[in-house]
Structure 1
């Protein structure tokens, strides 16, 4: 499965080069970075015209075109925590963006925008649920849906699939929950980290502090 990424802003035509023309003839997923509703509309038209498998990342104003995206079967990758405009292309940012899109039938996935904030993906998914997104679809948006959209191996818990799973202390979409066990390819992974070592060093269980300060 090939993945092609293009930035689609300010109505720039993508068919101006021979390279773009050749890529459109190949199989794969075409990822467009677009936030403004006008640009997203251009992606929809471009995708329909050339019959390509398109995904839009960013999509801050995608809620304005939810029905059109659903009709064109275009998936989106959104940050569930986006609620303020970062620039003039995202003036319509709102926390219920994912919910409005999902409820309209659009395939939704989540991103944290930056790799160092990947831990916030589940917080964004939880926020989307709080603003009206179906809980199960929010979980799938972080697990099985990306695999299905990008043609990866199935991430569902089923016979014959890879034994990859995470055990949580509580609801994984609650920020107070934490992973208690991680299994990858059937092997139990170590939960030791720099953070856990610092916890053991500076906040032992017998510390003269209330249990509320000890996250165990």
Structure 2
């Protein structure tokens, strides 16, 4: 396993990231975190570790600078600015493509909360994304871009997260690409229940393995 702390130049700022590459990785999964989170999200890091064991490289990165995050914590200035988040994700994907170590690998996106909407918008605009997984996401916030998404999309929602289930079903009805909704039994929005994140990881690894051609377990 190779772990690199990286700086990603976007919008005249640098975004911090963690790129982890198991030996022989055949695809890379980029994590797009949700409201108020960062590359240090314990839930995303747990899922990333599982994906690494399944043969995927992973990139967790900050969508906001430390100063922007401080402003966002006060008045939510940035977290629902899906256009900004998607633009930064798109620039990050461009940066990733230029790297000699992972640039040639198939790319998947794993979005959580509002990050799922940013992932869908970016995928609608770029041809480099091969698959998307959303965990407790808000795909409905991608709005008109949903109809433009052409890559296979898996929407994972907790059984007890009833309002988000409704919003995911609404979004799914606008998708014309290959897609599926998976409900994790007994799980709430943050998937804090025993075994819930393990099930998310299993579903994500299977989806990425199917559509990105990487090994899964």
TM range (shorter): 0.3 to 0.5
Normalised by the length of structure 1, the TM-score is: 0.40
Q: Select the structure that is richer in strand.
A: 2
Normalised by the length of structure 2, the TM-score is: 0.40
User: Rg: which structure is higher?
Assistant: 1
Task: Say which structure, 1 or 2, has more relative contact order (CA 8 Å, 6+ apart).
Answer: 2
